[in-house]
Amino acid sequence: MAAAAALARLEQKQPRARGPTSQDSIRNQVRKELRAEATVSGNPEAPGNNTVQEPKEEGSAHLAVPGVYFTCPLTGAILRKDQRDARIREAILMHFSTDPVAASIMKIHTFNKDRDRVKLGVDTIAKYLDNIHLHPEEEKYRKIKVQNKVFQERIHCLEGTHEFFEAIGFQKVLLPIPDQEGPEEFYVLSEAALAQPQSLERHKEQLLSAEPVRATLARQRRIFRPSPLASQFDLPTDFFNLTAEEIKREQRLRSEAVERLSVLRTKAMREREEQREMRKYTYTLLRVRLPDGCLLQGTFYARERVAALYGFVREALQNDWLPFELLASGGQKLSEDENLAFNECGLVPSALLTFSWDMAVLEDIRAAGTQPDTSILKPELLSAIEKL
C-alpha cells in the first residue's frame, strides 16, 4: 500500500500540459528495464519492484512503523535504508543502454561523494567544451591528452567521466608525439560531434546543472482509528543513531546522574545536553490527532522543518484550503512559517500533535450559512483506515 501510494504521488506530480520531460522518459525507461529484468530472473526482490520488505527486527509486529524506507526517484521503487545506494546504482547503470549521456552525468554526480572534487572536474570538462565551441576551427582544442596532469588530477579520478566523453562523441586514439618514441592516448572529438555544436552545448549545460540522484524519504502515511494508544510509540532501531545497547546504557547513566546534576548544572551544561539530544535522532515518527479522533501518521527527517508536516497534513485533508493549526504537547502552537526543525521543537524521535481548524475562519463560514464537511480526511485515505 505504501509503495502504491508513493507511485501515485510520483505520477501525479508530473507535468501534463507540455508533454513528457527528459526525467519522465528516464524514469519510464528505467522502470521498463527493471521490470523486464525482474521477470527474466524471477527474483521478487528485483530493483523494479515497489514492495516494502518485511522488517527483520525481533518483535516487529508491535512496532509503530516497520522501519525507515525510501523512494527511488528513477523507478519509484520503495527501498529499505540499506538498499538505497545499490538500487540507485543499478538503475543508473541500466540506463546506459538507452541514454548514455544522461546516465554518465548521473553517474558523475551520484557515484562520487566528494562534492568539491566533482565541481572541479565538471567545471574543467565545461572549459574543454567551451574551447571547442569558441574555436571550432582549431584542431588542438578537439584533442585531450589523457596523461595530462590536469586531466588526471581533476577528471580521470571521477567515476563516469570517461563514459561521458565517449557518449558525447569523443574517441580514444593513440597519437604520435613529436620528439617522443611511443604514441600517447588522447580523447579526440569526432567530426560528426563537431558538426553539432548545439548538442555539445546542451550536454555541457546538462552536466553543469545536474544534481546527485538521491532516494527520497518515504512518508509511509497511515490512518488509524481513535485509540487510547495514540501517544505510545514503539520505534525500530532505524530511528536512532545509537545502537540499542548504547541507548540503554545512556538511559541508565542519565537516571543515575539526575539528582547529582539537578542542582549543579549550569545553563551552558544544559544547552550542551540539549544539543546532544537533538543529534541522537535521524528520523522522527509524527502522529496528528484530528478533530474526529482519527490519527494521521508519517515519517520525517529529524532536521526537516515544521512546514513539511503542515504540507503532509494538508495533502490528506478533504478541505485542504481551510487554514488549521498544529499543537504540540502542552498546547505549544507550531507555526508553519517558523523555520524550526523537528529536533529543535523537541518532536523527536516521536510525537503526538493535535489538529484544530482556524476558529476565526470557521466562524466566517458559519456566518455565511454553510458548514465545513464533517469528513476531515479524503475518502480514499479513510478507506484504508487501520486499528492502532
The pLDDT tens digits of the residues spanning 119-148 come to 999 999 999 999 999 999 999 999 999 999
Instruction: Report the candidate in 51, 74, 38 with the shortest Cα–Cα distance to residue 5.
Output: 51
Report in angstroms the alpha-carbon separations of 300 from 114, 145, 216, 241.
26, 48, 11, 15
According to the model, what pLDDT value does residue 270 have? 58
According to the model, what pLDDT value does residue 48 have? 43
According to the model, what pLDDT value does residue 46 have? 46
According to the model, what pLDDT value does residue 365 have? 73
- Alpha helices by DSSP H, listed for 190-302, are 191-194, 197-209, 244-264, 267-279
According to the model, what pLDDT value does residue 265 have? 58
- Provide the angle, in degrees to the nearest 10, between the axes of the packed helices 197-209 and 100-111: 30
Write the single-letter amino acid at 20: P
According to the model, what pLDDT value does residue 243 have? 58
If one counts every other C-beta atom within 10 angstroms of the C-beta of residue 96, the result is 16
According to the model, what pLDDT value does residue 207 have? 97
According to the model, what pLDDT value does residue 55 have? 42
pTM of this structure: 0.72
First-to-last CA distance in the chain? 17
- Stretches where the chain sits below pLDDT 50 are 14-19, 44-59
DSSP 113: -
